[in-house]
Amino acid sequence: MKANEAPAKLYVNFHFIETHPESYQPLVTKQGINKYDIEYIRTDAFIEKACDYLSYHLDTSKIGVNYKFDFIEEFRKVMKL
């Protein structure tokens, strides 16, 4: 499965193993079901959301447009390390 085919978020319920010992594996879903679910987010989806946020909130009246785009690209590179 390619990264762009996987959902941006997955929910894993390790408590499911305790209540269903015959399964031997946690329950994985695309939507949170209960308080035992742990949310996992794909790294590339998280980076894109952060870059979108920065792009929207960086005020170009205070910084140059080129600096804004350079800053976001540098941020993207650092986050991928």
Give CA separation, 71 vs 34, 40, 47, 65, in Å.
Answer: 39, 27, 14, 10
pLDDT at 4: 60
Q: Where are the alpha helices (DSSP H) in 1-81?
A: 15-19, 43-57, 65-80
pLDDT at 31: 86
> Which residue type, as a one-letter code, is found at position 20?
H
Give CA separation, 76 vs 15, 41, 56, 67, 73, in Å.
Answer: 35, 16, 15, 14, 5
Contact 46, 80 (CB under 8 A): no
| Residue 22: pLDDT band with limits 50, 70, 90 | confident
pLDDT digits (tens, 9 = 90+) for 35-77: 888 888 999 999 999 999 999 999 888 889 999 999 999 999 9
